[in-house]
Amino acid sequence: MIRSTRRRKVARDLARCAAGLSAGMLVFGIAGGSGASGSVSAAAINGGALQILVPSGSPTAGQPLNSGGSATVFVMGPPVGAACTGDTTSGGYKIQSYMVPSTVNPSTLTFDSNGPLPTATGANYRQPMFSAAGTPVINRNTAVAASAGGPGLLTGLPTMSFALFGANGPTIVPAGTYNLGFACTLGAAGPTQLDKYWNVQLTFATDNNDAPSKITWAVPSVQPTTTTTSTTLAPTTSTTVAGGSTTTSTTSTTVAGATTTSTTVAGGTTTTAVGSGGGTPTTVRVGSSGGGQLAATGSSPLPIILWGVLLLVFGRMAILLGRPLRVLPDSR
């Protein structure tokens, strides 16, 4: 009898511990599934390629500008409709700018109130872009979204130049190729802060005849290597009808210096080429215009269900084992 009681106590204590662990994991799973407020997806979106353009006030305003000196004023033009996932007014999103070596992937950048981190000049140059007036382009507001929770368009983007560097230009920005761009951020610096980014590359050279910063720049003729990612949401089909056949196929279109994403939906494929190359994103549609919905995304609820079931099981065991043994009278 004493031994049986001890065994029940041990089993009860183990059940209580298991119930406590299950409860903790259940809470952790629910919190992780719901996501913390004030952050965005861990995978930043490449919004497309920027273009270096002639600013307004010139006879050739809006035309591509392929090279210049430190005093050359230019505009970094994003694709039409470029926007953060949310706006500043209701969503807290901010527009940042950056200039980093070409070896730095823009999708890995984080920002504080002074620009991209960690701030540096020289070989590890990491700074915001500066307007033609010499002010850093950081923490700018988006346009107000047309509807609550809607995207915030990139707006109020200033003209820029590299005149700020002065006579120390070649020391501050050594010759080489750099990534320049705009980024949308939400919240404090961290792995989920970056929402979207738009990029272009410039190659810098030292030129003692340039004034005031002794540097010149040019848009590279060859932009970064293209990478292609394809995601199939619904199978393509081939349908034969009397007198011929109709085939819905999946096609990828690659542009220089871009990242090409091919998405297949029911009855057709949309291929959007975006990235750090010149020009605006290119969209190519093939196949029929049949409908279809995007597959649901997000984490699986199975772990939450599992921990919930275990909590019920171990909790019930702890209650039952905690009850005193009932001794039945001897019927003999």
Residues 218-277 have pLDDT tens digits of 999 875 653 433 333 344 344 434 444 444 333 333 333 334 343 333 333 333 333 333
- DSSP code per residue over 82-113: -EESS-HHHH--EEEEEEEETTS-GGG--EET
Q: What's the rounded Cα separation, in Å, for the pair 174 and 120? A: 12
- Do 211 and 312 lie in one domain? The reply is no
Residues 138-147 have pLDDT tens digits of 999 999 999 9
- Do 19 and 157 lie in one domain? The reply is no
Residue 318's pLDDT is what?
A: 74
- Do 139 and 280 lie in one domain? The reply is no
**231 assigned to some structural domain:** yes
**Cβ(190)–Cβ(42) below 8 Å:** no
Closest C-alpha to 31, from 304, 309, 287: 304
Q: Which residues of 108-132 are buried (b: 16+ CB within 10 A; e: fewer)?
A: ebbbbeebbeeeeeeeebbbbbbbb
**Cβ(169)–Cβ(162) below 8 Å:** yes
120 vs 257, higher pLDDT: 120
**331 assigned to some structural domain:** no
- Do 62 and 194 lie in one domain? The reply is yes
**182 assigned to some structural domain:** yes
57 vs 282, higher pLDDT: 57
Q: What's the rounded Cα separation, in Å, for the pair 289 and 77? A: 32
- Do 214 and 66 lie in one domain? The reply is yes
**Cβ(72)–Cβ(65) below 8 Å:** yes
Closest C-alpha to 318, from 4, 3, 1, 11: 11
Domain that holds residue 140: 45-218
What average pLDDT does the chain have?
A: 77
In one letter, which amino acid is 100?
A: V
CA–CA distances in Å: residue 166 to residues 30, 161, 176, 191, 322 = 54, 11, 18, 35, 79
33 vs 102, higher pLDDT: 102
Domain boundary among 218, 242, 264: 218
CA–CA distances in Å: residue 5 to residues 9, 11, 317 = 6, 10, 15
**118 assigned to some structural domain:** yes
**Cβ(106)–Cβ(199) below 8 Å:** yes
